[in-house]
Amino acid sequence: MTDTTPTPEPGPRQSWETHAAASGDTDVVAISPVREEGMLTDERPDTSVFGPDVVARARELIARYPQSRSALLPMLHLVQSVQGYVSQAGVTFCAEQLDLSEAEVSAVVTFYTMYKRKPCGEHLVSVCTNTLCAALGGDAIYRRLAEHLGEDGRPVGHEEVAGAPGEPGSIMLEHAECLAACDLAPVLQVNYEYYDKQTPDSAVELVDALRRGEKPAPTRGAPLTDFKAAELQLAGFFPEDDATYRAAVDGPSQAVETLRGAQLAADRGWTAPAMADDVPLPALDSKKEGR
């Protein structure tokens, strides 16, 4: 097929021109500043959605690090706990809080897949389609969920939402790289909580329960919440009283399969070689002064 896209002339370009000139399957958003509803403008976005309580939490994050810019990753999770994604307003908010440029913040947002560049569903369903899970059924699970969550015969795509984003029962589906649970493959996660040894049928049952407003218990780990609540935890904010905190984060965290190697070693008396105690650890560079 002949590509009829005109070749851009050299020289400075308006952002909408470079956006339009990219081919259809180029992930332009990944290399452009994030803008609301795909629009690129030079206006400062309205950051009023991040009220005094969010600003206070942002200041708390900054206080946790010797250099304020180190608070960027948790601050982006804080932004997602408010909006369900990192909007351009979120980028501006972080840049202003941390005295960074918007380009520096955008570079981080677009690098890590945990930062969503469009509004997420109430829940994020991540299906591992990396090698081991894929071979054991992960691809089939993803395909079945994409079709099941789609409409009018069109499956939902990677990072697309079934339902109105943020509304109860809405679900963003995504491919995920290895979720570090290969011993329990094929696995999927809902808001980063594990559901092990899935099948296409069990995955469909799970998303149907989510759409009904239920919160099926993960195979292990903390109880299921929703994407925004999980993001607040990832930002490092938990309930203050111990009982509520424990209820929010506690759960069985290990599976028999995961411990099988350690158990075999213990049964057979195998141990790792002792660490040589005469090898000095390399000195760390002293921290440099920074923002």
CA distances from 276 to 54, 115, 214, 281 (A): 48, 41, 52, 11
Q: Which is nearer to ligand FES, 41 or 131 (CB)?
A: 131
Q: Which residues bind ligand FES (CB under 6 A)?
A: 128, 130-133, 178-182, 185, 187
HEC sequence for 184-242: HCCCEEECCEEECCCCHHHHHHHHHHHHCCCCCCCCECCCCCCHHHHHHHHHCCCCCCH
For the chain, give the number of residues: 291
Q: Which is nearer to ligand FES, 178 or 232 (CB)?
A: 178
**Shortest CB 258 distance to ligand FES, Å:** 11
Q: Which residue's beta carbon is nearest to the bound ligand FES? A: 133
Instruction: Give the strand pairing for 188-190 and 123-128.
Output: antiparallel
**Shortest CB 185 distance to ligand FES, Å:** 5
Q: Which is nearer to ligand FES, 29 or 178 (CB)?
A: 178
**Shortest CB 122 distance to ligand FES, Å:** 24
**Shortest CB 193 distance to ligand FES, Å:** 14
**Shortest CB 197 distance to ligand FES, Å:** 11
Instruction: State how far the Cα of 22 lies from the Cα of 40, in Å rounded to an integer.
Output: 15
Residue-by-residue DSSP string for 88-116: HHHHHHHHHHHT--HHHHHHHHTT-TTS-
Chain centre to alpha carbon of residue 169: 19
Of the candidates 121, 113, 49, 111, which has an alpha carbon nearest to the alpha carbon of residue 84? Answer: 121
**Shortest CB 261 distance to ligand FES, Å:** 16
Q: Which is nearer to ligand FES, 85 or 194 (CB)?
A: 194
Chain centre to alpha carbon of residue 143: 21
Q: Which is nearer to ligand FES, 154 or 260 (CB)?
A: 260
Q: Which is nearer to ligand FES, 61 or 134 (CB)?
A: 134
